[in-house]
């Protein structure tokens, strides 16, 4: 029997009625002769509700207690789904992250999975159960509950697929696949049938919310196929795997992602000397804040300017740290902007096509969109601009690069 891992997100299991429909889908896949492991998120809105409760006590709350709290949403849905499956006549058992042997490091609120002891899940599968596992959570060696960062159930599902050598990891959600861009911003957005892990990783890291980036990273590393599907409509969804089948006609650009969750920080007039970058960014890294784009330009008289972006949530803390560094370095000025958006075009076809960046910049210029930062990789070009420009920028790029065709 092959093992299929299915993951259902919060909107798919937001009510008892919806849980019953999910149970039917699980049962029908089981009736195809597969062993089923089902990973679930919390009911839609639940994780936010719990977060807000905690924030009403302390707006800057983070750490161990927060994970103990926000991991409970998934404990509700695993048991409700297992009960529903049982009522429909199928043997099922729910497992929390710790019961399922999901071990993580101890970086609370954004823990990484170290390893999965697959024996508990295997044992219950062998006994004929449908095994329902709580996504988003794990346990440290010391026995503390951790969570994997927002959207972390995707990563749980992929990691479990790897640990069980599953045939496929099916991610069920409220959209029927991965789109060329967000249809709410660009009505011409089209569903993509197949995309490489590499491209998907860029799209999700750059703001496409369909999958947690770490899930895609994991899938690429261990070569697991992911399929993104709708819970509510029939369809074949989007397949994400290492290599595209049709090597024939590769799109130059596969998709456009955007991210409003970043903020920009800028420090001016620091000495242009070896070691400056690490003096500025070191303290930020020590705070466990991920720095994304970095630009350094040399100004006049041996002074340099430094601009970088951080998650918007970490803006205040990063700004504080930058102000302290600024005193030590006798910088001229520190500035910030937390109303920015990063827009990224992604496609493996960029490797073999020149001039994509200049075309992108000229389209934006024609539409009066000012770019404040640029970064490129082999298969991606990102720009930062003011948040107000989001819709126009995405729409003109989507059209210019024929993504609506």
Instruction: Print the binding letters for residues 151-190 with ligand ASP: x by CB under 6 A, - otherwise.
Output: xxxx------------------------------------
Could you give the angle at the alpha carbon of 133 between the alpha carbons of 128 and 134, nearest 5°?
A: 165
Binds ligand ASP (CB under 6 A): choice among 3, 10, 12, 314: 10
> Rounded CA gap, 224 and 217, in Å?
10
Strand, coil or helix: 185:
coil
Taking alpha carbons only, the member of 76, 111, 112 closest to residue 94 is 76
Task: Determine contact, residues 339/390, Cβ cutoff 8 Å.
Answer: no
CB of 47 or CB of 325, closer to ligand ASP: 47
> Rounded CA gap, 295 and 300, in Å?
16
CB of 109 or CB of 181, closer to ligand ASP: 109
Strand, coil or helix: 329:
helix
Sheet holding 137-139, edge to edge: 113-116, 102-104, 137-139, 145-147
CB of 22 or CB of 284, closer to Mg ion: 22
Binds ligand ASP (CB under 6 A): choice among 135, 220, 255, 336: 135
Number of residues written out for the chain = 405
Residue 67, binding choice from Mg ion, ligand ASP, none, Cβ under 5 to 8 Å by partner class: none
> Rounded CA gap, 20 and 338, in Å?
42
Widest CA span in the chain: 77
Interface with ligand ASP (CB under 6 A), residue total: 13
Binds ligand ASP (CB under 6 A): choice among 12, 47, 94, 264: 47
Residue 10, binding choice from ligand ASP, Mg ion, none, Cβ under 5 to 8 Å by partner class: ligand ASP
Q: How far is the CB of 230 from Mg ion (least distance, A)?
A: 13
Question: Would you count residue 151 as binding Mg ion (CB under 5 A)?
Answer: yes
Task: Determine contact, residues 95/78, Cβ cutoff 8 Å.
Answer: yes
Q: How far is the CB of 301 from ligand ASP (least distance, A)?
A: 48
Question: Would you count residue 9 as binding Mg ion (CB under 5 A)?
Answer: yes
Instruction: Print the binding letters for residues 216-235 with ligand ASP: x by CB under 6 A, - otherwise.
Output: --------------------
CB of 230 or CB of 266, closer to Mg ion: 230
Q: How far is the CB of 65 from Mg ion (least distance, A)?
A: 24
Q: What is the DSSP letter of 12?
A: G
Binding site for ligand ASP (CB under 6 A): 9-10, 41-42, 47, 73, 135-136, 150-154
């Amino acid at each position: 029997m092959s093992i299929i891992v299915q993951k259902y997100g919060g909107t798919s299991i937001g009510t008892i009625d919806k849980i019953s429909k999910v149970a039917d889908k699980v049962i029908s896949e089981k009736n195809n002769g597969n062993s089923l492991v089902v990973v679930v998120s919390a009911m839609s809105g639940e994780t936010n509700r719990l977060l807000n409760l905690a924030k009403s006590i302390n707006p800057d709350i983070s750490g161990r207690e927060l994970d103990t709290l926000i991991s409970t949403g998934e404990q509700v849905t695993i048991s409700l789904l297992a009960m529903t499956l049982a009522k429909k006549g199928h043997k099922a058992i729910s497992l929390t992250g710790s019961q399922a042997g999901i071990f993580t490091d101890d970086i609370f609120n954004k823990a990484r999975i170290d390893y999965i002891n697959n024996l508990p899940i295997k044992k219950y599968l062998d006994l004929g159960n449908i095994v329902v596992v709580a996504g988003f959570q794990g346990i440290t060696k010391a026995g503390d509950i951790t969570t994997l960062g927002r959207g972390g159930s995707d990563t749980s599902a992929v990691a479990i697929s790897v640990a069980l050598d599953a045939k496929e990891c099916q991610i069920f959600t409220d959209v029927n696949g991965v789109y060329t861009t967000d249809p709410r911003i660009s009505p011409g957005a089209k569903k993509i049938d197949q995309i490489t892990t590499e491209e998907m990783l860029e799209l999700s890291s750059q703001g496409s919310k369909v999958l947690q980036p770490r899930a895609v990273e994991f899938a690429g590393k261990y070569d697991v196929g992911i399929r993104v599907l709708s819970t509510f409509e029939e369809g074949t969804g989007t397949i994400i795997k290492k290599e595209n089948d049709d090597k024939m006609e590769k799109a130059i650009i596969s998709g456009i992602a955007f991210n409003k969750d970043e903020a920009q920080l800028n420090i001016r007039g620091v000495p242009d000397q070896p070691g400056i970058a690490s003096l500025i960014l070191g303290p930020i890294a020590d705070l466990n804040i991920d720095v994304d784009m970095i630009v350094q330009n040399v100004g006049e008289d041996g002074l340099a300017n430094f601009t970088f972006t951080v998650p918007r949530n970490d803006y205040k803390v990063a700004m504080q740290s930058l102000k302290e560094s600024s005193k030590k370095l006798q910088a001229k000025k520190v500035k910030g902007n937390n109303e920015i958006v990063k827009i990224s075009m992604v496609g493996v076809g960029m490797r073999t096509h020149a001039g994509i960046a200049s075309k992108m910049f000229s389209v934006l210029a024609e539409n009066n969109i000012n770019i404040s930062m640029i970064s490129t990789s082999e298969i991606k070009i990102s720009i930062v601009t003011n948040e107000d420009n989001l819709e126009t920028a995405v729409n003109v790029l989507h059209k210019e690069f024929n993504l609506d065709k």
